[in-house]
Structure formats: C-alpha cells, structure tokens
C-alpha cells in the first residue's frame, strides 16, 4: 500500500547515487589533480575554463521528480469506491452524496409515501466517479444516485424510451458555418439534466442508503420526475427541453430533431465554397465487396465523412461506382436540408465527381440491360435526385493521372500518392 499522508512524504530526490569502485575513485582523483595543475597559469594570461565547467554550462543538469510530486500524479491509486460501505468511510464521498441528495430534493424529484401493495418498488444504487482535469489533477468527486432500471417492466413502468441524439455531422457543420460567419459559440451544460424530465408512469423507488428518513424506514419514494437509470429518463429530458425551446420561439429542424433554429436577422448569408463536393476514394483490391466512402467540406474544412464496405457484391466497376454515388447522394441530400435549416440554402445542385463514365450514363439514362437490370431499386434514387436538380454527376480523371480531384471513385489509392498529389 502507498502511504498518501503528505506530512510523511519527504521532499527528496528518488535517485540513489551509484557507488564508485575504489580504483575508479583513484583515477578520478588523479585526473582532478592534473586539471587543477593545468589550470594554474602565469599572471596576465587568459584563464582556461576547466572541462567540468564547460560541461556544466553546455549540458543542463539532470533533474528528477520529488516523491511528493510523484504521489500527486498517481491518481490511479486513489480507487473509486464500489459500494456505499466503502464510500462512507471517506469524507469527500460523504460530501459528494450530500450534494447529490440536496440537488434531488431541490428539484422536487420525489416525495415520501407509504409502500404500495400492488406496485413493484425499484431499488437504487450509488455510483462514484472521480473527475480529473486535463493535467491529471482531481477536479471533483462525484456521487450519482441511479435507479436500477433493469428491473423495470415494459408496458407497466415505461412505454417509450427513444430519445434523439445529435449527430456529429450536424455539430461540425454548425461549427464550420459559425467559423465562416465569425459567430460566437456558447457551450452550456444543464446540471443533473435527467432530473428535470417529467414522467407519466407511477414509479416507486427505495430510500437511498445513508439518507433513510428516521421513523419512516418502511416508506418509499414516489418519483415526480425522472431519475438517472430509468428507461424513460432520456426521453423525459428530451420532451422537457424540446418544450422549453419551442415555447421561446425556436424552430425544430425536420432533418435533425436535436437542432433548434431561431433567426434574428433577415439578411441572406453565403458560404465561401458554395459547393459541398464529395469524393469516394477507396476500394479493397482483390475482393468482391467494394468499400464506399465520402467526404464533405465547407470552405476549407471537412465536416462529414464515412467509409463502409458495400452490402452487395458488385459485378462490375460501373455498378460499384453507381452504388457508391447513390450512398453519397443520400448524405448530400440530408446535408443540404440541414444547411437550409441553418440559413445556408444551396440553389445549385451538389456536384459529385465520378471517374466512371458508365456509372454516369446509368444515372442519366434509365437503361435496363443485362448488366444493370439486377441493381437494387433503392440505388436508383440517384436518378430522381439528379432529375430534381439536387445532385449532378460529373466525370473526372483517375488519381493515377497525376492529380487527385474531389471525385467519386472506388479505385484504391496509396497513402503516399494521396498526400503527394492531392490538390490544395
């Protein structure tokens, strides 16, 4: 066991000097005497710097961490308690639990009531976590009271559990537009967010360990709001925050339910790069399944990308290119709608470059012959997008010609070729 008592930690170097053999000590003494003899010079002659001083001036001294500094950075030794019995022995965790209970009671999350006879009571548990700063130092000790949601019965204790989560593509697109427009971005956090969601079901939980009401040990807690660990907690919080935004004049995006927009200026805005080009760059050579991938950029920054093996076996390179272009088209249409909700409507079609003329011909001409009649109908949505003016496929040269254009291709490109020949 480590001794973490700071008063007992001596601020001393952890380096242990190595013992020098007697013969080496004698040789070092002779060399030192010779150096002192040579350093004695005639008056007026320039003084020569001993080699030892030259080394000290040119080479910085070797330093080591003190024991106390090492102990301060060894936060991994400070284990987080796994149960209440262990946590109650430490003052920091007791304070963390008191803060959690205070937050729950302030939020009016539950009320003390008699134990029901016709309802199951859900248990609760304490979870402990040590939050660290970027440098590894301790930020705070957090105790969270969670319900044992695994014991909930579907249809009785909960019905719907789905809650939307923001896509990273949406967040990156918003940041890219804000950077181009020089907008200010504010990041905010709701403390104990799930405790603010209202629930419709009648749910009872046990009193938490360490905070059982005296004289009411047999009573339980009826929840008025959601508690961490419940199946419906994420959905309850989303419903609450959704109502908050809608009541204050925000508009929810139809393409991204976690994106809320409120326009305060009527002037139109434009992007530096009006085209959100895409490119498919990779293919696994020697395999039947091609790998489709794409990247979308706003200005000079890429904000959306993907790489995935195709679900179907392509019987020709034209079919593989066509399937890859269809997947890119789906993402492009969704991004166009997201950007339109953000006030960045794109009037011209999104250009997708392709290095296969046959795939482009399949898009423009609804031909059905032996090499295309078997293609799944879902990939033909690319034709409809082209007809509506949302997508435009153009031909580009292959990467082996000396340059890599922003294009759609399933040809394999080596990393060195990509880095050396990519256009700025």
pLDDT tens for each residue of the chain, 424 residues long:
444 444 444 444 444 444 455 555 455 555 555 555 555 544 554 555 454 444 444 555 666 766 666 655 555 445 789 999 999 999 999 999 999 999 999 999 999 999 999 889 999 999 999 888 877 778 899 999 999 999 999 998 999 999 998 899 888 888 888 888 888 888 888 888 889 999 999 999 999 999 999 999 999 999 999 999 999 999 999 999 999 999 999 999 989 999 998 876 544 333 222 223 333 333 333 445 677 778 888 777 788 888 888 777 777 877 888 888 888 888 899 999 988 888 888 888 988 888 888 888 888 877 667 667 777 777 788 888 888 889 888 887 654 433 333 444 455 556 666 555 454 4
* Angle, CA of 268, 274 and 275, to the nearest 5°: 150
Q: Identify the residue whose tokens are 């019995």.
A: 85
Q: Give the whole-angstrom CA distance, residue 20 versus residue 414.
A: 56
Residue 294: count other Cβ atoms within 10 Å of its Cβ: 24
What pLDDT does residue 72 have?
57
What pLDDT does residue 283 have?
33
What pLDDT does residue 23 have?
53
Q: Give the whole-angstrom CA distance, residue 271 versus residue 348.
A: 13
What pLDDT does residue 238 have?
93
Its pTM stands at 0.65
Q: Give the whole-angstrom CA distance, residue 67 versus residue 14.
A: 6
Sign, CA dihedral 30-34-39-42, equals positive
What pLDDT does residue 380 have?
80
Pairing of strands 204-205, 121-122: parallel
pLDDT digits (tens, 9 = 90+) for 99-108: 999 999 999 9
Cα–Cα distances in Å, from 375 out to 125, 244, 358, 369, 380? 54, 47, 14, 11, 8
Residue 307: count other Cβ atoms within 10 Å of its Cβ: 12
What pLDDT does residue 47 have?
53
- What the block records as the tokens of 8 is 């007992």
What pLDDT does residue 85 have?
94
Q: Give the whole-angstrom CA distance, residue 195 versus residue 237.
A: 8
Q: Give the whole-angstrom CA distance, residue 111 versus residue 370.
A: 71
What pLDDT does residue 6 have?
45
- What the block records as the tokens of 165 is 């989560």
DSSP 337-403: HHHHHTT----SPEEEEES-HHHHHHHHS---STTTTTS-GGGGHHHHHHHHTSEEEEE---GGGS-
Q: Give the whole-angstrom CA distance, residue 53 versus residue 403.
A: 57
Residue 32: strand, helix, or coil: helix
Q: Give the whole-angstrom CA distance, residue 269 versus residue 72.
A: 52
Residue 251: strand, helix, or coil: strand
């Amino acid at each position: 066991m480590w001794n973490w008592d700071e008063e007992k930690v001596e601020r001393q170097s952890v380096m242990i000097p190595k013992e020098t053999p007697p013969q080496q000590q004698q040789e070092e003494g002779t060399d030192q005497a010779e150096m002192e003899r040579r350093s004695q010079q005639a008056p007026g002659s320039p003084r020569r710097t001993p080699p030892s001083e030259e080394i000290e001036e040119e080479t910085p001294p070797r330093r080591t961490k003190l024991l106390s500094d090492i102990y301060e950075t060894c936060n991994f030794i400070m284990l987080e308690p796994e149960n209440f019995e262990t946590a109650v022995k430490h003052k920091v965790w007791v304070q963390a639990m008191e803060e959690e209970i205070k937050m729950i009671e302030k939020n009016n999350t539950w009320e003390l009531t008699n134990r029901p006879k016709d309802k199951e009571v859900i248990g609760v548990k304490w979870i402990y976590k040590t939050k660290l700063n970027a440098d590894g130092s301790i930020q705070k000790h957090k105790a969270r009271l969670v319900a044992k949601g695994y014991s909930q019965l579907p249809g009785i204790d909960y019905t719907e559990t789905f809650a939307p989560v923001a896509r990273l593509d949406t967040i990156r697109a918003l940041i890219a537009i804000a950077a181009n427009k020089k907008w200010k971005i504010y990041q905010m956090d709701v403390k104990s967010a799930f405790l603010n969601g209202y629930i419709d079901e009648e749910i009872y939980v046990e009193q938490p360990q360490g905070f059982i009401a005296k004289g009411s040990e047999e009573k339980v807690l009826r929840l008025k709001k959601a508690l961490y660990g419940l199946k419906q907690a994420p959905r309850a919080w989303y419903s609450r925050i959704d109502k908050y935004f809608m009541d204050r004049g925000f508009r929810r995006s139809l393409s991204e339910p976690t994106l809320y927009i409120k326009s305060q200026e009527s002037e139109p805005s434009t992007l530096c790069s009006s085209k959100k080009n895409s490119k498919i760059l990779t293919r696994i050579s020697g395999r039947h399944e091609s790998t489709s991938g794409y990247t979308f950029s706003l200005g000079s920054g890429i904000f959306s990308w993907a790489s995935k093996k195709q679900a179907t076996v392509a019987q020709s390179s034209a079919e593989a290119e066509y399937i890859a272009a269809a997947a890119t088209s789906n993402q492009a249409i969704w991004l166009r709608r997201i950007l339109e909700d953000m006030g960045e409507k794109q009037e011209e079609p999104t250009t997708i470059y392709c290095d296969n003329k046959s795939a482009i011909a399949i898009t423009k001409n609804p031909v059905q012959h032996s090499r295309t009649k078997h293609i799944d109908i879902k990939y033909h949505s690319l034709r409809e997008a082209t007809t509506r003016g949302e997508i435009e496929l153009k031909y580009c040269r292959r990467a082996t010609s000396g340059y890599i254009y922003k294009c759609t291709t399933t040809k394999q490109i080596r990393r060195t070729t990509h880095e050396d020949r990519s256009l700025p």
